[in-house]
Amino acid sequence: MSISTTAHLNLPGTAHEALTFYRDVFGGEVSTTTYGALGMPADSPDAGKVVFGSLTSEDGVRLMAYDVPGRDEPFPSRTRRENGTTLTDQPFFLAAGAGSLEELRPIWDALADGASVIEPLAASPWSAGFGMLTDRFGVTWTLDVRPAD
Q: Nearest 10 degrees: CA dihedral of 109, 112, 117, 119?
A: -30
62-94 tens-digit pLDDT: 999 999 999 888 877 666 777 776 666 666 789
- For strands 62-67 and 7-11, give the pairing: parallel
Q: What is the pLDDT of residue 1?
A: 59
Dihedral angle sign, alpha carbons of residues 68, 14, 133, 95: positive
Give the residue, 118 or 84, on which the prediction is more confident. 118
- Domain range summary for the chain, segments of one domain joined by +: 7-67, 79-145
At the second CATH level, the architecture of 7-67 is Roll (3.10)
Query: Distance of CA 70 to CAs 14, 47, 67, 98, 119, Å?
Result: 12, 10, 9, 37, 34
Percent above pLDDT 70 for the chain? 90
Report domain 79-145's class.
alpha beta
16-45 tens-digit pLDDT: 999 999 999 999 999 999 999 999 999 999
Give the residue, 89 or 112, on which the prediction is more confident. 112
The residue ranges of DSSP E strands in the chain, in sequence order, are 7-11, 29-34, 50-56, 62-67, 79-82, 85-88, 94-98, 116-124, 127-134, 140-145
